[in-house]
């Protein structure tokens, strides 16, 4: 089964093929996605790579902290995206002992 890894601290100039080349040193890469801003198309500086579990574990060990395009990579197992409740904002009533009846 494939393991998805989070790859952070990418240079804005780093391409998916650059990421693929770095990870292919550790085994077959199933997929690479560098996340881009939908409005500007510019990289957001992170992405995801999928590899077999065994190869992914080797890649995490070998590439975490490694240099790619002048940046020290952050590589770890991707965690599921947390669904956020967009109903509130600004942290009203979240800790701090503030009054909750103020809107």
Between 16-23 and 53-63, two packed helices, what is the crossing angle to 10 degrees?
100
Asked if residue 90 lies in contact with residue 97, where contact means CB atoms within 8 angstroms, the answer is no
In degrees and rounded to multiples of 5, residue 13 shows phi and psi of -90, -10
Domain range enclosing 69 = 2-77
The Cα–Cα gap between 60 and 26 comes to 9
92 domain-assigned: no
Q: Domain containing 36 — which CATH number? A: 3.30.70.330
pLDDT of the chain, 103 residues: tens digit per residue: 899 999 999 999 999 999 999 999 999 999 999 999 999 999 999 999 999 999 999 999 999 999 999 999 999 999 988 887 776 555 555 555 555 555 5
Q: Give, in degrees to the nearest 5, the angle at Cα 8 between 51 and 48.
A: 30
């Amino acid at each position: 089964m494939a393991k998805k890894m989070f790859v952070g601290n990418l240079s804005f100039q780093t391409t998916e093929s650059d990421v693929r080349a770095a990870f292919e040193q550790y085994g077959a890469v199933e997929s690479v996605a560098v996340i881009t801003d939908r409005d500007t198309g510019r990289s957001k500086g992170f992405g995801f790579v999928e590899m077999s579990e065994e190869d992914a574990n080797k890649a995490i060990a070998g590439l975490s902290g490694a240099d790619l395009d002048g940046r020290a990579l952050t590589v770890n197992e991707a965690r599921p995206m947390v669904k956020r409740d967009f109903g509130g904002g600004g942290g009203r009533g979240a800790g701090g002992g503030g009054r909750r009846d103020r809107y």
